[in-house]
């Protein structure tokens, strides 16, 4: 049950960030495309379980943010075509998700998955 809540929190946060940045601010992706990206990016939860215990939270969060930037940008090109707005939106999304991930990892360690604590 802990994993279900953790995945739902991650999905909701990703959906909110993507929607605000890529639909609200820059209007480069549709709601359907944002839902697809949110689902794809939520799979990175498995990476959180593997990477976070081996690396420090800061490094794991930076890795998550950079990964989100690349995935959003590359899939965004495929979905909507390349544009300056997409690149900027992807960068802002990556930064916002990186910040979220930092606090999300702390939450996971303290409340949901104490076995994931960095040794």
> How many CB atoms lie under 10 A from the CB of residue 85?
16
* DSSP classification of residue 114: G
Higher-scoring residue by pLDDT: 95, 114: 95
Q: Tens of pLDDT along 27-61? A: 999 999 999 999 999 999 988 888 888 888 999 99
Higher-scoring residue by pLDDT: 117, 69: 69
Q: Tens of pLDDT along 62-94? A: 999 999 999 999 999 999 999 999 999 999 999
Round to whole Å and give the CA distance between 5 and 77. Answer: 31
CA 102 to chain centre: 11
**pLDDT at residue 119 in the model:** 45
- The size of the chain, in residues, is 119
Round to whole Å and give the CA distance between 57 and 59. Answer: 6
């Amino acid at each position: 049950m802990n994993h279900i809540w953790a995945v739902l929190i991650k999905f909701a946060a990703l959906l909110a960030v993507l929607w605000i940045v890529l639909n609200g601010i820059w209007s480069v992706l549709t709601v359907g495309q944002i839902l697809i990206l949110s689902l794809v990016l939520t799979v990175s939860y498995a990476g959180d379980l593997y990477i976070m215990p081996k690396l420090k939270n800061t490094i794991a969060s930076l890795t998550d943010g950079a990964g989100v930037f690349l995935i959003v940008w590359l899939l965004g090109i495929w979905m909507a075509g390349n544009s300056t707005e997409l690149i900027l939106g992807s960068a802002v999304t990556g930064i916002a998700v990186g910040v979220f991930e930092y606090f999300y990892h702390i939450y996971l360690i303290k409340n949901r998955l104490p076995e994931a604590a960095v040794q």
